Amino acid sequence: MTTLLDVAKKANVSKMTVSRVINHPDKVTDELKQVVYEAMRELDYHPNVIAKALANNSTRIVKLCILEDIDTTEPYYMNLMIGIAKILDLHQYSLQLVTRRDFDIGNCDGYIITGMRINDVEWIKKLKKPVILFGENRYGLDYVDTNNKAGTYLLSQLALKKGYEKLIYIGIDSKESFEYSREAGYLQQVQEKQMIPELHRFGNHSHMSEEFVENNWDNIPKNTAFICASDRLAIGIERGIIRCGGKIPEDFGVTGFDGVFLNQIASPKITTIKQSIIEMGSACEENLLDKIQNAAPQGSLVFEPKISLGGTLRN
């Protein structure tokens, strides 16, 4: 049977180096990992991860818990899982996808939780295993997210630079931290320019924002830009304007938030905040593994927003 020492000799490195590559690949250079992995492949060496996990009272399993209904229209959660899986693979962990209903089935070493609502805070705080949230929160729980406030602030600023004279915010009717922050970014820009804010909130469904435009078309002046809390709401606004005979972007501007898929299939394509979902998924897993290994709080990790230009604002 091939041993760790055999791999070390084949790769011309120390046994300790091989162990570090296997157990702590994040602390080893890519060049060194490549040399050791190649030796492992040539010798058909497979670390006994299960035995090690049992000895350390570990499962080598991380649960990704999605607490909201999964929308199959866009690959939002698929991108998140890809990012998580990239890091898990390096550390030889397995990923278990669970929902609220089957959350307690089976053991694990830690949790990544997304879609948390206010009613979930108490039971999440009582979990005995390490937790990282994907999504901003104001309850002291460690999380990874986009800078939501900065995103809508930048979009509002951009719309004004393009010459639109009125900004209307179309928000998600939700008492969640990310929505409060997106709304706050819009309000900050409007207040700085001493403009009168106008906000409307709906469920995150395009038909609701589309109906809003149709029902209020006579009261919406030209040279208005809509700052939307999601691409889904932005698509509804866009459809409503076009259905009523308005011209985008000449007379009306529209911006969204997410940039995962829907912004690309809209016509014209939506100017939006493109969230780095894959990278944020990897960051969630890196923080969780660090928390598992070191039992240390991670705090918040916030990604700065990036504007993805489409055709819904003037050039």
Dump pLDDT digits (tens) for 11-39. Answer: 999 988 988 887 777 778 888 888 998 99
**DSSP reduced 3-state for 253:** strand
Q: What is the C-alpha R_g of the chain?
A: 24
Residue 232: is its pLDDT beyond 70?
yes
Tell me how far apart the alpha carbons of residues 240 and 234 are, in angstroms, rounded to a whole number: 10
Q: What angle do CA 239, 234, 67 make, to 5 degrees?
A: 125
Dump pLDDT digits (tens) for 49-100: 555 554 556 788 999 999 887 776 678 889 999 999 999 988 888 899 988 8
pTM above 0.85, yes or no: no
Omega within 30 of 0 (cis) for the link into 268 = yes
pLDDT attached to residue 48? 63
State how far the Cα of 30 lies from the Cα of 37, in Å rounded to an integer: 10
Q: Are strands 110-114 and 131-134 parallel, antiparallel or unpaired?
A: parallel
Q: Is 138 helix (H, G, I), strand (E, B) or coil?
A: coil
- pLDDT confidence bin for 237, thresholds 50/70/90: very high
Q: Alpha-carbon distance 56 to 299, whole Å?
A: 26
- Residue-level pLDDT at 56: 58
SS3 203: coil
Query: Would you place residue 104 in the very low, low, confident or very high pLDDT band (cuts 50, 70, 90)?
Result: confident
Of 241, 277, 246, 271, give the one whose Cα is nearest residue 256: 271
- Per-residue pLDDT at 46 exceeds 90: no
DSSP states along 160-199: HHTT--EEEEEEES---HHHHHHHHHHHHHHHHTTPPP-E
- What is the three-class DSSP state of 210? helix
Q: What is the per-residue pLDDT across 263-293, written as a single tens digit (0 to 9) for each?
A: 998 999 999 999 999 999 999 999 999 999 8
**Chain centroid offset of residue 179 CA:** 14
Instruction: Please report the pLDDT score of residue 91 as a whole number.
Output: 82
Residue 122's φ and ψ, nearest 5 degrees, are -65, -45
